[in-house]
Structure 1
Amino acid sequence: MNERLIPAIAQDWRTGEVLMLAYMNDEALAKTQETGKAHYWSRSRNKIWLKGESSGHFQLVREIRVDCDEDAILLLIEQEGGACHTGYRSCFYRTIDGRVVGEKVFDPHDVY
C-alpha cells in the first residue's frame, strides 16, 4: 500500500458489530501491527493517533483483513469501553432519521 489514506473499519471480533470507521496510512497500519492496538491517521489533527490514548478505550486487534482491491482495511478488534467519542459503544448509534438505537457506555465529559 502507498501513502494514500485508506478506510479502516473497526468491527467487534466476537459479535460482528461495526464500531467505527477511520483512516489509516502505512505508518498507522505498521504501528497497529507492531503493537496490537489500533492506530489511525487523524485528518483533523494531521497526525497518527492511538485509539484510546485520551480515553483509555483501546482497541485490541485480533485480526487484520484487507479487501479484494486492497483499498480498505477491516480490523477485528476487542473494544475496551466505547468506540465513539460521544460515549456510545459504536459510532453507528443512530438511524438516519435520528433515532438512537445504540448503547451509551460512558460520559464523554468524564473522559475528555
Structure 2
Amino acid sequence: MTAHVLDRSIAERLSRNADGLVAAVVQDVTSGRVLMMAWMDDAALAETLATRRGVYYSRSRGQRWVKGETSGHVQHVRSVEIDCDGDTVLLRVDQTGAACHNGTTSCFDTATLLGED
C-alpha cells in the first residue's frame, strides 16, 4: 500500500475536529441523493484525491477503510469540494451497489422526520 500525503495547501484549509477528522458528505453524482456521511483523516482524503476511490476513517475500528473493499459496493469519486469553513468535504460519486453498510441505497433510507408539504 502506497502512503498518500495530503497536499499542504489543502491541509492548511481544513478545520478538523478534536480527533483530527473532517466530515465527508457523499452524494450520488447522477441523482443528487445524499448517500452517506463519514469521516476522513488527512491520509484518507489524500488517498481519495490520488485514487478517485472513496476512502474514509472508521472511528469505531480506529483505521482507514476503502468503501467497497470487502463488499464490492465501490465509489468512483467524480469530484471533491471543501466547504467555506473547511470542516466538511463533499464527494460526488458514482456508486456501485448499496452505499449503506446495512445494504440500502442510502444511509438516509431509515426514517423521515419531516417530509415535504
Question: Could you say which TM-score interval applies, normalised by the shorter chain?
Answer: 0.7 to 0.9
Aligned pairs for 1:63-78 within 5 A: 63-78=79-94
Kindly report the root-mean-square deviation, in angstroms, between the aligned alpha carbons of the 2 structures.
Answer: 1.3
Q: Which runs of 5+ in 1 are unaligned?
A: 98-112
Aligned pairs for 1:21-40 within 5 A: 21-40=37-56
Normalised by the length of structure 2, the TM-score is: 0.79
Please list every run of at least 4 consecutive aligned residues from structure 1 whose deviation after the TM superposition is greater than 6 angstroms.
none
Task: Kindly state the Cα deviation for residue 96 of structure 1 after the two structures are TM-superposed.
Answer: 4.5
Task: Kindly state the Cα deviation for residue 94 of structure 1 after the two structures are TM-superposed.
Answer: 2.2
Greater RCO structure (CA 8 Å; 6+ sep): 2
2:92 is paired with a residue whose SS is: strand
Normalised by the length of structure 1, the TM-score is: 0.82
1:34 is paired with a residue whose SS is: helix
2:23 is paired with a residue whose SS is: strand
Give the counterpart letter for 1:23 in structure 2: W
Aligned partners of 1:33 and 1:96: how far apart in 2? 33
**Percent identical:** 47
Question: 2:60 — aligned with what?
Answer: 44
Task: Kindly state the Cα deviation for residue 95 of structure 1 after the two structures are TM-superposed.
Answer: 1.9
Q: How many residues align?
A: 97
Question: 1:104 — aligned with what?
Answer: none
Aligned partners of 1:23 and 1:61: how far apart in 2? 15
